Amino acid sequence: MIQLDAAHFSNLTSAVQRTGSLTGGAVRGLPNDVVIDGLHGVQSYGSAIAEAQKEFQLGRARTALERVRQLETSFSSSVGQWNGTVNSIISGAKQGRQAVPAAKLNEVRNAQTRMQVLVGPATKAFRDLISALEFEISLEGHQGGEDKDADNLAADDGIPTIPEPFTKGYHVVTQLHLERGGDNKARVVPQFEPKQFYLLVGDESARVVRVDELNQSSLAVYDFELEDNTTLEGKQLIAQLRRGVWAISREH
């Protein structure tokens, strides 16, 4: 969970480059010789993403994040321009300002749908990589604190008390820690698991949550104290790990 690796960069490269051409081909024969095809300039993103990956591998996560954010902004701008062109053709045909045959107008609408299918994964890949980089930077911040030389980055103040109604039938299994590996990166050990119950230590008491979904930079949980679904984001999750997170299990 929340582990940045080479796949984040390669997934982004593949997803972005797929938007460079429309599946089924370009739409031609439109007014003013407009051609609706893939996004322009995205083929050059591969080298820029590779540079961001190199920065990360050299330990410069903040520089990598800045580069990826710049690429995301550029990509969003390209998508906006593409949509603007397509919407202009569609609205012009509807208002009678441009003579576009019905069959050709359907091609334009289909192209818009096809592009949405291509842009969605690319947008998600950008967000996944940015979230993972932000999480890495958060870990670096905690690694640079007073306990920088400690192998265990989580506090251990003793086993907390399990609250009602979990007092009977549940017991504490193990505490989760942020541990630094041989590559000097911090990881959650043991990893969070879906459907597992966890005890989160607070300032005054502890509460129990159930992990429903593991995401790249967050946990979707059900909080039994709040009686509602909630999300633990990257920075919030790190802070909680330092306060204390314990896996609990039913007694057999």
Domain definitions of the chain by residue range: 6-143, 170-250
Structure tokens at 228: 């509602």
Q: What is the pLDDT of residues 211-222, one digit of tens each?
A: 999 876 788 999
Query: Exposed, middle or buried by CB within 10 Å (0-12, 13-18, 19+), for 208?
Result: buried
- pLDDT value at residue 149: 38
- pLDDT value at residue 171: 92
Give ∠ CA 104-105-109 in degrees, rounded to 5. Answer: 120
pLDDT for residue 83 is more than 90? yes
Q: What is the pLDDT of residues 204-249, one digit of tens each?
A: 788 999 999 987 678 899 999 999 999 988 778 888 888 899 999 9
pLDDT for residue 78 is more than 90? yes
- Residues 56-70 have a mean pLDDT of 91
